[in-house]
Amino acid sequence: MTFKTDERSIRLYNLYNHLAFKLALYVAVWSFLFLAVFEKPAVPGAALPYWATMIIEACILIFFLSRFIHNVLFSEPASFWKDPKNIVVIVTIILVAIDMVGYIIWVNVTSPAVAAKAVRWSRPLRPLFLINFPEGRQLRKAFRNILRTLPDVVHILALFLASIAIFALLALKLMQNRSLVYPDGRPYFNNYFECVWDLYVLVTTANSPDVMMPAYNKNNWFATFFFVYIVVNVYIFMNIVLASVYNNYRRHLKNEVIKTVYLKRRLLARVFDLLKVWQRDTYVVTRQTWHSLMEIAAPHWGPTRRDVLFYVLDDTADNAIRRKDFLKVADLLNVELAEEKEEPTALENWCPRCYLAPPSEVIKSIVRHRFFHYTFDFLILLNAFIVGFNLEEAEWGFLTAFTVEILLRVYTFGPKKYFTTFWDVFDFCVVMPAVIGTIIETSLGDDYGRVKLIDFLMVIRVLKLVRLIGSIKRFQIVLTTIVNIGPSIATYGAVIFVFFYIYAVIGMELFSGLINYYGYDTKNETEMFCGDQRLKGSEFLQKRYCGNNFNSIAHSFVILFELLVVNQWHVMSSGFVLVTNKAARLYFISFHMICVVILLNILTAFILEVFILEY
Amino acid sequence: MTFKTDERSIRLYNLYNHLAFKLALYVAVWSFLFLAVFEKPAVPGAALPYWATMIIEACILIFFLSRFIHNVLFSEPASFWKDPKNIVVIVTIILVAIDMVGYIIWVNVTSPAVAAKAVRWSRPLRPLFLINFPEGRQLRKAFRNILRTLPDVVHILALFLASIAIFALLALKLMQNRSLVYPDGRPYFNNYFECVWDLYVLVTTANSPDVMMPAYNKNNWFATFFFVYIVVNVYIFMNIVLASVYNNYRRHLKNEVIKTVYLKRRLLARVFDLLKVWQRDTYVVTRQTWHSLMEIAAPHWGPTRRDVLFYVLDDTADNAIRRKDFLKVADLLNVELAEEKEEPTALENWCPRCYLAPPSEVIKSIVRHRFFHYTFDFLILLNAFIVGFNLEEAEWGFLTAFTVEILLRVYTFGPKKYFTTFWDVFDFCVVMPAVIGTIIETSLGDDYGRVKLIDFLMVIRVLKLVRLIGSIKRFQIVLTTIVNIGPSIATYGAVIFVFFYIYAVIGMELFSGLINYYGYDTKNETEMFCGDQRLKGSEFLQKRYCGNNFNSIAHSFVILFELLVVNQWHVMSSGFVLVTNKAARLYFISFHMICVVILLNILTAFILEVFILEY
Ligand code: NA
């Protein structure tokens, strides 16, 4: 990406990167995605007429377009139009606009029956804005990594599907003429595509051991077939898919790092060439230039910090930075500088006499003693039992004790150190809301609002137990690792969110309104069997899965999460097959392939890699 | 391990390592394990009276003991008794003997009611012989690796269990007072230990989404609790367990390799010191000594091969091997030597005139052409469809075609090359039995024996499709990787077998005879509900799981494999809880912890590591 360097373009660039605009873009992108809550089929109670969401959508689209044009103005056209992400953004904007116009025509011009079938087909494209605006760099990198990992994994997946196809043929030939049936009377392995489906489900283990039982009850030796199938396809193939994902992922990550480093060096070399002057026998950046550069690049730094960096880079100590040293600047920018001195606490500054007096010192040494720590760990454990056995009366005593502990620790270690220590902050965030909540709870009467507050306080009280874990050294290391890899995992959470959104929107178009939850005791004809006679007697109904439907984006996310967990996914898909047809299985299989086999394995590969680096 | 070096000891050593004795040991170890098939509860139709199996057991035990004593005779006592595996072997022999005597007394002296409860408590120790005899080196190494990986993983598992305990408390507090029930009427999250159990099962995903549905149907927001629980405990914790296993495993593997290399070098140095002579200005091993050594160490090698190795090691070309070079000998012993020349095929030797005649050359160039290959690939695919659609008549044509293909390929490439190429051998092993089987099938009438033959032929015919996969280059690489890592995976298969055996024997003691499979249509009072009234109405019965029981070692292995696959394991355990009590859950939880969480993760770690090295 290269930008024009005339003054007007630089002004436009700075305006484009103004914090307010960036924030507005974030809000716009998320609002755009959030529209699905209000659009048909809306979350219960949040439905808006279609023109209302469309007006909001149009505003957001205009904002995206203006931002795009703004970007065009200060970019070099050649490089701008070569960047795929810009192409994707403008094409998506145009497609969404076409879809909106088309939808309005469809709804208003055709007969009501046809109008009811109107489809907003551009909605699955919405997450593209999340990925492709220049600000989604981390997410884009994650997607790029996934795309690059794919080609090598695809061969293994193809082989794996071929293996299922062969085993399915074998299963068909071995079992079709034995008149076996499932417990619910369905025929057992008597059709090739049903065999493929049953064996695909078996790879996810979701129908184990049910799929084996009819054959096993007939003849125990049939267990061998399923044993071989599971060993080959679950234990060997699935692990090899993971190994291949991990292997590729690691390689691409390495390449990515190398490329980033190379790009960084090239850009720094260009900066050096712009700023260099000839001094003695070589090109250098003078101290004067350095300070001017830093004033623009890092305006929040003080002159001292700029000087420190300059002295570090000035390897030859001649008040000038050579090319070789200048290229190291990027690595140094991220180094945290810490002032090395034991600071007095706020209280010590305010009244040293009282803070350092003998009684105060006694208190501090008590607080610093490990038995102080142990005592409160014990109190937390005791508190957990009290919570478990519903002895609400004792809660006040515990809350007072924990509050005193906080005050003592702040007193001893000083507020600055206290509020920068992870476990202390955690403690504070758990105890304070509990104190405030309990006060409110006591002052409120026995009314409805209290119930939710009690739930909230429950969660808070139980969370305190986590501190107990944090106080055991070995556990701390593991927890710190988890906390450290958290942000990187969040990026993959976003990747999964993108796929969830796309599948949720498609799922709503395909299945919304077909299965409804009305409770299971209803005597109303239209509400029986979750609104569809075809579900009568099905395992879907028997397991009371009617709440797992695509009737709103929230419901869709829940069922997709359940599909991600995999267990019973074949029962859920069987419900939607019953109310539509067997083609619905493609939706569920593709979701499993993409989100479980590929994305979750990438997540595992990612956690493996990060854990090995961190631990 | 050090041995005595006097002549008698060396003779004893050679006798101990005689092939016949080694084979006898293998047979004895496996027979010892195999006894479980005949002991009570025996595999149906294989029951033997207890004295019959005990006589065999005693013979095996005497053989183990004599082998142990034989080993004592030529070993240095100090190092022999310091080796834990020897201690384990002798202690196990003694324990088994005590158990046998005790059992005989128990059965014969006490009243029949008490005698029926007699327990052979030493049976779970049997696999120790598999591990601890000097010959099970690979298996022992795998166990050592697992044991060393454990301590570091245990902390993470403890943290993970703590997390379940905290979430269980939270779940209890959030849901106990809402009078929710499961579809079958069981109370929902109203007892702490039931919460822990349900949430432990949820980590295995086996009760997802069922465990969520009652709360979700009550209030959609409860989905958040389960979402957070699954993300933390399934996606983060389980992946971190894998990462930690992988990390530790890799480190220990590296240490193991370093140790092995070091040990090898030390032993070689000792050999060198025994054989060295002073020549010119340094110690060397002469060519004469080398040949004498090799005659003992590698008697099956010819003098040429010994000479080749000598010249490779004789770096200085002075007819003597120096110390530095001698230490390399172990690495060279494993190098395969191939004679590099284009050999004429057997037929060419026998009748060069006809083999090299123009018509013969035409045939050979046709067979070598890639379209020849494609044609037969197409025929295999076509054959698969024919098999799928039950067009049995065409089978003869295909078999003839495939036989002709084999003959042509043997003719062209010569038998030697043909029978050393993996895919050609595979082809041969699939087509030939099919031809022979089809001939037998045709000659036999429509009788019972034919059915099993047809099944066998089906498997063979379908297996041919695997060759199709082998003919695609990209797939070949993956398959070769799988074939290469096969033997190493087999070691882990043996590890899992050991745990299966132990759990199977314990499971038979605890649960055998409690649940029986009598079919589900029986009207016989004692056979209804699989022999136990308490199973009436249970999910175990409804899913027709009565075949999953511990009534013989074979049945036990099947149910343990199903437990290894994890799905529905809670339903299986619920059946055994119903006919015993909730303590039975410990058996199933411990199996899950050991075999799934630890062993399967080690398998994954292992496949990851090997795949990355191989691919
Ligand atoms: Na499952």
Tens digits of per-residue pLDDT, A577-604?
Answer: 999 999 999 999 999 999 999 899 988 8
- pLDDT over 90 at B555, yes or no: yes
DSSP string, B326-347: HTTHHHHHTPPP---S-PPPHH
More confident call, B220 vs A350: B220
Residue A135: pLDDT band with limits 50, 70, 90? low
Alpha carbon of residue A516 to chain centroid: 29
CATH number of A7-135: 1.20.120
Q: Which residues in A267-313 belong to E strands, given as ranges?
A: 277-279, 282-286
Average pLDDT for A504-513: 93
CB contact under 8 A, B207 and A482: no
- Asked if A398 and A431 count as a contact pair (C-beta separation under 8 A), the reply is no
- Identify residues whose C-beta is under 5 A from ligand 1, the ion: A 205, 567; B 205, 567
pLDDT of residue A615: 64
Among B243, B458, B519, the residue with its CB nearest the CB of A608 is B243
Annotation: CATH topology of B276-333: Recoverin; domain 1 (1.10.238)
CB contact under 8 A, B240 and A170: no
If you ran DSSP here, which 8-state letter would residue B533 be given? G
CB contact under 8 A, B243 and A607: yes
Residues of chain B contacting A242 with CB distance shorter than 8 Å: 604, 607-608
Residue A542: pLDDT band with limits 50, 70, 90? confident
* Cα B327 from Cα B272, distance rounded (Å): 8
* Cα A575 from Cα A584, distance rounded (Å): 10
Average pLDDT for A362-387: 85
* Cα A318 from Cα A314, distance rounded (Å): 7
Kindly identify which residue of chain A lies nearest to residue B474, measuring between CA atoms. A155
Tell whether B519 is within 8 A of chain A (Cβ).
Answer: yes
DSSP string, A542-573: HTT-TTSS-SSHHHHHHHHHHHHH-TTHHHHH
* Ligand 1 geometric centre to CA of A568 (Å): 7
Give the mutation candidate from B608, B612, B614 for the A interface (greatest A CB count, under 10 A).
B608
CB contact under 8 A, B603 and A239: yes
Residues of chain A contacting B235 with CB distance shorter than 8 Å: 600, 603
Q: Which residues in A347-436 belong to E strands, given as ranges?
A: none
Closest CA to B321 of B359, B302, B293: B293
Among B459, B544, B562, the residue with its CB nearest the CB of A183 is B544
Among B236, B478, B566, the residue with its CB nearest the CB of A482 is B236
pLDDT of residue B609: 83
Q: Is A118 exposed, middle or buried (0-12, 13-18, 19+ CB in 10 A)?
A: middle
- pLDDT over 60 at B494, yes or no: yes
Of the listed ranges A169-178, A519-528, B83-92, the least confidently predicted one is A519-528
pLDDT of residue A447: 57
Domain chopping of chain B, boundaries = 7-135, 145-256, 276-333, 346-471, 483-614
pLDDT of residue A511: 94
Tens digits of per-residue pLDDT, A88-109?
Answer: 999 999 999 999 999 999 888 8
* Ligand 1 geometric centre to CA of A551 (Å): 25
CB contact under 8 A, B206 and A247: no
Mean model confidence pLDDT for chain A: 85
Backbone Cα Rg of chain A: 31
* Cα A27 from Cα A33, distance rounded (Å): 10
Instruction: Put residue A414 in one of left, alpha, beta given phi > 0 → left and psi -120 to 50 → alpha.
Output: left
Q: The CATH number of B483-614 is which of 1.10.287, 3.30.470, 1.20.120, 1.25.40?
A: 1.10.287
Average pLDDT for B90-105: 94
Residue A468: pLDDT band with limits 50, 70, 90? confident
pLDDT of residue B34: 92
Common-topology check for domains B145-256 and B346-471: no
Coil/strand/helix, residue B75: strand
Highest mean pLDDT among B347-351, B469-473, B552-556 belongs to B552-556
Tens digits of per-residue pLDDT, A388-401?
Answer: 777 767 778 888 88
Average pLDDT for B564-580: 93
Cα separation values, B507 from A286, B38, B202, Å: 80, 16, 24
pLDDT of residue A451: 60
Among B174, B183, B230, the residue with its CB nearest the CB of A565 is B230
Q: Which residues in B140-281 belong to E strands, given as ranges?
A: 277-279
* Cα A537 from Cα A528, distance rounded (Å): 12
CB contact under 8 A, B611 and A244: yes
Which residue do the tokens 């001292």 mark? A304
Tell whether A59 is within 8 A of chain B (Cβ).
Answer: no
Kindly identify which residue of chain B lies nearest to residue A248, measuring between CA atoms. B612
* Cα B400 from Cα B69, distance rounded (Å): 59
Average pLDDT for B189-199: 91
pLDDT of residue B595: 92
Tell whether B233 is within 8 A of chain A (Cβ).
Answer: no
pLDDT of residue B118: 85
Tell whether B479 is within 8 A of chain A (Cβ).
Answer: yes
Tell whether A180 is within 8 A of chain B (Cβ).
Answer: no
Of the listed ranges A251-265, B87-101, B193-207, the least confidently predicted one is A251-265
* Cα A127 from Cα B447, distance rounded (Å): 64
For the beta sheet containing B320-322, the strands, ordered from the edge strand earlier in sequence to the opposite edge, are B277-279, B282-286, B320-322
Tens digits of per-residue pLDDT, B23-49?
Answer: 999 899 999 999 999 998 889 888 999
Instruction: Note which residues in 211-230 of chain B have CB less than 8 A from chain A.
Output: 212-213, 216-217, 220, 223, 227, 230
pLDDT of residue B415: 84
CB contact under 8 A, B156 and A478: yes
Tens digits of per-residue pLDDT, A192-245?
Answer: 899 999 999 999 999 989 999 999 988 888 899 999 999 989 988 888 889 888
Highest mean pLDDT among A357-366, A493-502, B409-418 belongs to A493-502
CB contact under 8 A, A220 and B170: no
Highest mean pLDDT among A430-434, A457-461, B210-214 belongs to B210-214
* Ligand 1 geometric centre to CA of B206 (Å): 5
Residues of chain B contacting A251 with CB distance shorter than 8 Å: none
Residues of chain B contacting A387 with CB distance shorter than 8 Å: 169, 173
Among A156, A388, A478, the residue with its CB nearest the CB of B155 is A478
Tens digits of per-residue pLDDT, A419-447?
Answer: 888 888 888 888 888 888 878 877 776 55
Residues of chain B contacting A235 with CB distance shorter than 8 Å: 600, 603
Q: Is B218 exposed, middle or buried (0-12, 13-18, 19+ CB in 10 A)?
A: middle
Tens digits of per-residue pLDDT, A518-527?
Answer: 887 777 777 7
The size of chain B, in residues, is 615
> Chain B: nearest CA to A605, how far in angstroms?
9
Average pLDDT for A172-198: 87
Average pLDDT for A156-185: 87
Tell whether B334 is within 8 A of chain A (Cβ).
Answer: no
For residue B196, the number of C-alpha atoms closer than 13 Å in the C-beta half-sphere is 13
Tell whether A489 is within 8 A of chain B (Cβ).
Answer: yes
* Cα A215 from Cα A226, distance rounded (Å): 10
pLDDT of residue A198: 94
What percent of chain A has pLDDT above 90?
26
More confident call, A70 vs B347: A70
What percent of chain B has pLDDT above 70?
96
Residue B451: pLDDT band with limits 50, 70, 90? low
* Cα A282 from Cα A270, distance rounded (Å): 16
* Ligand 1 geometric centre to CA of A373 (Å): 42
Which residues, in sequence order, are bridge partners of residue A282? A279
pLDDT of residue B342: 60
Average pLDDT for A335-359: 71
Kindly identify which residue of chain B lies nearest to residue A228, measuring between CA atoms. B561
- Asked if B25 and B54 count as a contact pair (C-beta separation under 8 A), the reply is no
- Asked if B553 and B35 count as a contact pair (C-beta separation under 8 A), the reply is no
Among A387, A568, A608, the residue with its CB nearest the CB of B210 is A568
- pLDDT over 90 at B100, yes or no: yes
Which residues, other chains included, contact B62 with Cβ-Cβ below 8 Å and sequence gap of 6+? none
CB contact under 8 A, B183 and A542: yes
First-to-last alpha carbon distance for chain B, in angstroms, is: 36
Among B205, B220, B482, the residue with its CB nearest the CB of A236 is B482
Average pLDDT for A283-310: 82
CB contact under 8 A, A166 and B519: no
Alpha carbon of residue A524 to chain centroid: 41
* Ligand 1 geometric centre to CA of B326 (Å): 56
- pLDDT over 70 at B452, yes or no: no
Tens digits of per-residue pLDDT, A313-322?
Answer: 887 777 888 8
Q: The CATH number of A145-255 is which of 1.10.132, 2.160.20, 1.10.3470, 1.10.287?
A: 1.10.287
* Cα B16 from Cα B358, distance rounded (Å): 60
CB contact under 8 A, A208 and B568: yes
Residue A547 has φ and ψ, to the nearest 5°, of -70, -20
Mean model confidence pLDDT for chain B: 85
Give the mutation candidate from A193, A568, A612 for the B interface (greatest B CB count, under 10 A).
A568
Annotation: CATH topology of B346-471: Four Helix Bundle (Hemerythrin (Met), subunit A) (1.20.120)
Tell whether A611 is within 8 A of chain B (Cβ).
Answer: yes
Cα separation values, B174 from A174, A253, A386, B181, B184, Å: 51, 43, 15, 14, 21
Average pLDDT for B108-127: 87
Parallel/antiparallel/unpaired status of strands B277-279 and B282-286: antiparallel
Residue A334: pLDDT band with limits 50, 70, 90? low
Coil/strand/helix, residue A320: strand
CB contact under 8 A, B183 and A216: no
Among B156, B166, B244, the residue with its CB nearest the CB of A465 is B166
* Ligand 1 geometric centre to CA of B236 (Å): 17
CB contact under 8 A, B548 and A209: yes
Cis peptide before A359 (omega within 30 of 0): no
Tell whether A488 is within 8 A of chain B (Cβ).
Answer: no
Kindly identify which residue of chain B lies nearest to residue A242, measuring between CA atoms. B608
Q: The CATH number of B145-256 is which of 2.70.70, 1.10.287, 1.20.1630, 1.20.1050?
A: 1.10.287
Tell whether B98 is within 8 A of chain A (Cβ).
Answer: no
Residue B123: pLDDT band with limits 50, 70, 90? very high
Residues of chain A contacting B519 with CB distance shorter than 8 Å: 217
More confident call, B556 vs B287: B556
More confident call, B504 vs B182: B504
- Asked if B4 and B75 count as a contact pair (C-beta separation under 8 A), the reply is yes
pLDDT of residue B613: 76
- Tell me the count of A-B CB pairs closer than 8 A: 209
First-to-last alpha carbon distance for chain A, in angstroms, is: 37
* Cα A546 from Cα A559, distance rounded (Å): 10
CB contact under 8 A, A158 and B217: no
Highest mean pLDDT among A383-387, B304-308, B570-574 belongs to B570-574
pLDDT of residue A335: 67
